[in-house]
Amino acid sequence: MCFYFLMHTAQLHTHLVRSEELIPNMRYALRLPRIGFTTAWLPVVILASLISCTRPDQDTKTINVTSFIEKGNLNEAATIILKAQIEKPDDAKLLYNLAVIRKLQGKLADAKAIIQKALQLSPHDDLIKLFSAELALEAGDAADAWDRFHTVSESARHQARSQYILGSIYAAMRDWSQAEGCFRATIALEKNHTPAKAALAFVLAMQEKYEDSKKLLAETETVSEQSPQTIRQIAECYLALGDAKKALALASPLTSDATMDAGLWSLIGRCEMILLRFSEAESAFTRALASIHATPWTRVEYAELLFAAKREDEALAQAMEAESLLESAKTPIQDPKLYNLLATLYARRGQMLLAHKNLQKSLQLDPTQTRVREILTRLTSGEPAKTNETPSPHQ
């Protein structure tokens, strides 16, 4: 998931509550949305952290590829680093910079392999450790990101960048209160940290502190020259607050510079889905799934669209494929929405044992889901579900 704690909104479920049932007479709205929080902020942060690397032939000069990256000349920046590596193949700083560039190019696997080598060469470098945590988070493994973050020295953990990364990890783990504390700490250390403000607005919305979220969001929007990543996060916030039209208006102009950005097209698809424009939503998800950056969660989101469009057989096929991909990648599933979706689809086909199994998995991931627990209890006892019950997506 890139930083859209690119992580979903309750508004999709408003339509589903009205039109689709889960267990007999129980609504699909019980499922928690995957957070629309995004890790797309990472390029903004890591760009500022590029290490100035000494040239192997002239110690008084440095290799500075920041200007190339700012202009989008990532291939040229990578070429400069690779040429320097001919003479210094085991320079941890060069490897770090190359990993940053590979991340910006969307080559996440390459970036992870490179940063791992840099860590082996320089195991006590906090900057390299932080970036390895960011990459783990980008890959959707919050547990690995947590472990990597806690190898960073105590003093380095209290810097603005570190607090922002820790907040992102907490958000990925759905620990909203801890995430809020970290983002507030980031802003206290760096008051003009716009990505942190946008992230905080999202986290506040997920805690149903809507007025505080809207106030912070309005403040964030007044900042001029915002990065595309920050605009995306703001769009996710509006989606979380239920304003799909506003979110779509912010996200759509970004597509001209990100034609194959899976996260952005997923965001647009979710907006269109909430607006019940299923054809446009499917077009957006088709683009998202065609991207090399698409993840199994992109497929889950597409399955949600198919379900909302009453194409349940296709939805089940996509959800099962996503589950298979996640299991084969051995990435810990930390979001219950896939299991809730599968439970819904199985129940509607009369496959109650499979529905029961997936609800159990969902509750293991998030025991705070009150409605899931109630439905599971009724299924276990054989008691029929109540007719007019519509579980909240936040429970």
What is the residue whose two structure tokens read 């497929």?
299
The CATH number of the domain where 346 resides is what? Answer: 1.25.40.10
Amino acid at 53: C
Torsion of CA 57, 60, 66, 68, to 10 degrees: -50
Q: Are 322 and 338 in contact (CB under 8 A)?
A: yes
Is 257 a domain residue?
no
| pLDDT(26) > 80 | no
Determine whether 392 is exposed, middle or buried from the number of CB atoms within 10 Å of its CB (0-12, 13-18, 19+). middle
Q: Which pLDDT belongs to residue 301?
A: 94
Q: Select from 125, 79, 124 the least CA-distant residue to 102.
A: 79
Question: Whats the size of the chain, residue-wise?
Answer: 395
Compute CA 46 distance to the chain's CA centroid, rounded to the nearest angstrom.
17
pLDDT by residue (tens digit) across 275-303? Answer: 999 999 999 999 999 987 788 889 999 99
| pLDDT(166) > 50 | yes
Is 349 a domain residue?
yes
User: Residues 6 or more apart from 124 whose CB is under 8 A from it?
Assistant: none
Q: Which pLDDT belongs to residue 379?
A: 81
| pLDDT(7) > 80 | no
**Could you give the C-alpha distances from 55 to 99, 128, 198, 259, in angstroms and in order?**
18, 20, 38, 36
| pLDDT(181) > 80 | yes
Is 85 a domain residue?
no
Name the percent of the chain lying above pLDDT 70: 79
Q: Calculate mean pLDDT across residues 140-163.
A: 93
Identify the residue with better confidence: 17 or 243: 243
Output helix, strand, coil percentages for the chain, rounded to the nearest 5. 65, 5, 30
Is 53 a domain residue?
no
Calpha distance 307→311 (Å, rounded): 5
Per-residue confidence at 262, pLDDT binned at 50, 70, 90?
confident
Q: Which pLDDT belongs to residue 224?
A: 77
Parent domain of 386: 10-34+262-395
Per-residue confidence at 125, pLDDT binned at 50, 70, 90?
very high
Is 26 a domain residue?
yes
Is 49 a domain residue?
no
> Would you give the DSSP letter of residue 389?
B
Here the tokens at position 193 are 């940290």
Amino acid at 75: N
Domain tally, the chain = 1
| pLDDT(328) > 50 | yes
State which H helix or E strand residue 178 sits in.
Answer: helix 176-189
Is 283 a domain residue?
yes
Identify the residue with better confidence: 106 or 20: 106
**Taking the model in full, what pTM does it have?**
0.73
Is 389 a domain residue?
yes
